[in-house]
Chain A
């Protein structure tokens, strides 16, 4: 992969971590705007950052790799996102740059 894209992915993962923390902790709320702004800059540059937290788990969805915790059940959801899904659009073509890393569990 292009070293610049690799660098961007690393930064996106860190921003994602920051985003998780600011969302969970009201005392960090003042950072949220800056976090949103960094995310927006990446989106303007062609990156689509997807956080599948809370979405239903599908085995046909291949933009994330899931670890399943607890027992399998017909209805499962994403309970934790370790790395977000990142798509990159260039020349009108959208493709996956980073598969998400998620934890799924029964609803």
Chain B
């Protein structure tokens, strides 16, 4: 039995990548920690662990004795590196194997390839090539096939073009990366792609250009603007005054370089000696600065052409790879000086890995069937972990320890956080392991323990997940016993409703800022006011049935300017661990602030608000009474009648209560009102739930029918989201919950039908059948009907829609005779 290799690795001097050929295309795998495709080819040996990649790169300059990079240049030499932290020597092969093992972690599919294609520079001789092969074997790949980097890049570009004709003749592969430059002449010889000649420089690349931006552009401009003695050495020296700035500038210079690939100028912004500096770097300046370096690379290409007695006409194209070929000057200089067409069709960063994977897709190896392999694949060692750690903590890091039983010798492990924010690095597995785990704040942190064999194959051991909750669910914190809501206007139903601010069981302290709209204009001279009423109780209940926690009333006389309807009010609510509620409201229109701290022991009652609540309850009671009577539910009607009479009695008391009454009566009345509200809410609730459930199913069918008719996948996903927990909310016995879901379905259904002409045609016919005299303005109504008829004839549905809206607005307002809602003024 044989199988295709499929996996290809670009083992680069600066960065490495891994890709897989599958179903005719190549996927480049991403680092599970940070989602980058590239892994810096850097290995750091810390006292108790090995770190590979980005984090190792951080330490290169500061701990060069224990951190190794660019070891690819030493492949095949007898050189080895002493590691003070571990007290032993590491060869370039061993370091490369660590990089290759780390790349295996990128394979999210769970596959464990036993064979791989690894790319090598065109300059590698047999010993260097064999050394690369050994690194592959040491990393756990039984079979390693090598491929020269220029060939890999050529394959990537040929397959991208899907044009084998491009493979005729000879071409150049120009590879200018982060730190190295290579150029190769590639040719088809006897039907096979071969590197005929190559040149290169191991110390030329993008990092040099970043440094040039700082030293040749930023520093001179800075010196023109101010007096910074000895600036360059103060930047570059580790103990220099501006060394921190140097590191900041390196990052910013890299960004500028990227921006200049698409823009003709870029800004660099930083602070020096507490002064803000903005410098403009033009593409011309940048190109002048790096011109000599690029010219030098072109000269190396010319050297190849001369050596092989080739003219520009003999070479079909120059394939550009390596991240630095994004720089426009590189492309133009290569094209103009060589007179050969430049091909930039492949992603210069991934081209080599893509080509390696393409090649791997065409190569096959015999499947392994040795005892060893079977053991590795099938029988995971019998290893068990007995873990100990604190499951809840307020600290930002937590100590973890475990006793490990089973054959641990030769195995290694690493602990990683599921969100990708922590990686312990690779550590030898011992009978007792311990680690300080870093936690993401205010969330549940899940860590996984991964165990590897000597070849860094992940073993399927039964390692428990570590779950530590930081901050949010701290066991020392107090949970909220009820929802905390704010009361807002519900103009559609001429009443008020609750908006959830803090959910039940949330842990104190809590803070949240919301933005609400002012629903009515409040004049400085008027008697209207804005109420910010914070209540405690179920978010689904009616506001009147909840316990008031605190209210800020902003009266017209408090305002510095009139408050206009439609402006915003920013409300910040904060509840301390000792349950003090502080409310801050900022009227964004005039930046006026109002704030108050409410102690739960001091209940705030606003008599005006209480009167309005009673009024709203009376309306609701009357509506229920009407419904119960018409459905002949006389028992329920009798209960409502009792409630109505109690509401009347509270009203009577409130009439005679002065606004500044100092007795307890307003508290008693508020308490009675709240109980009546709950009672009213519960009366006939079963019937209401039946009705709203029926309505829910009706809307569900209606909505689904439209979605299926439109074959609207996006809305189908939303539909499924709304109905996902149907059994839970239907059995909640909460009218408001089911109503909220029904409303969501109505909205979703409306989103679909409002785009259909039939909706507006039907609506139009409805309004057109109403006699003009029934409209508030018969003349206008007749006019809009005329417009509607014409729009209908012309099938102009936008115009028809406008006519429908106008006719709707001319309908007599049923609510006109109602007493207007005093409400809160926010919504």
Contacts and interface: CB of A to CB of B under 8 A. Distances in A.
B429 to A, nearest CB: 17
Interface in A57-84: 58-63, 65-72, 79-80, 82
A94 B422 CA distance: 13
B250 A67 contact: yes
Nearest to B424: A60
B386 interface: no
A62 B422 contact: yes
Contacts of B55: 59-60, 62, 65
B69 to A, nearest CB: 15
A87 interface: yes
A5 B46 CA distance: 36
Given A58-B438, A59-B46, A96-B35, A67 B419 contact: no
Interface residues of B, number: 45
A59 B52 CA distance: 11
A18 to B, nearest CB: 12
Contacts of B250: 67
B238 A70 contact: yes
Contact of A99 (B34, B46, B252, B425): B34
Contact of A65 (B54, B238, B436, B513): B54
Contacts of B421: 61-63, 85, 87, 96
Given A58-B438, A62-B33, A67-B250, A87 B59 contact: no
B246 interface: yes
Given A33-B570, A61-B438, A95-B420, A66 B58 contact: yes
Q: Which of A55, A60, A80, A94 has the most CB of B within 10 A?
A: A60
Interface in A1-33: 17, 30, 33
Contacts of A36: 513
B239 interface: yes
27 contacts: A30-B591, A33-B570, A40-B513, A50-B441, A61-B422, A62-B33, A62-B34, A62-B420, A62-B421, A62-B422, A62-B423, A63-B421, A67-B58, A68-B61, A69-B238, A72-B62, A72-B63, A82-B248, A85-B421, A94-B419, A94-B440, A95-B420, A96-B33, A97-B35, A99-B34, A101-B251, A103-B248
A41 B443 CA distance: 19
Nearest to A40: B513
B782 interface: no
A51 to B, nearest CB: 11
Given A33-B570, A59-B59, A72-B63, A67 B34 contact: no
Given A37-B570, A62-B33, A69 B419 contact: no
A59 B513 CA distance: 35
Contacts of A71: 62, 238-239
A68 B423 contact: no
Given A40-B513, A61-B421, A68-B59, 11 more contacts: A36-B513, A70-B239, A70-B243, A70-B244, A80-B244, A82-B248, A94-B418, A95-B419, A96-B420, A99-B54, A104-B58
Contacts of B396: 55
* Top-9 shortest CB links A-B: A67-B247, A63-B421, A69-B244, A72-B62, A96-B420, A94-B419, A68-B62, A62-B423, A69-B243
A60 B586 CA distance: 43
Nearest to A79: B244
A103 B420 CA distance: 20
Contact of B247 (A48, A69, A94): A69
Contacts of A60: 55, 422-425, 436, 438
Contacts of B425: 59-60
Interface string B231-265: 00000001100011011101110000000000000
A94 B441 CA distance: 13
Given A71-B62, A87-B419, A103-B244, A94 B513 contact: no
Contacts of A30: 591
A58 B440 CA distance: 13
B58 A96 contact: no
Contacts of B35: 95-97
B51 interface: yes
Contacts of B290: none
Most B C-beta atoms less than 10 A away, residue of A48, A70, A72: A70
Contacts of B418: 94
B515 interface: yes
Interface in B34-50: 34-36, 44, 46
Nearest to A68: B62
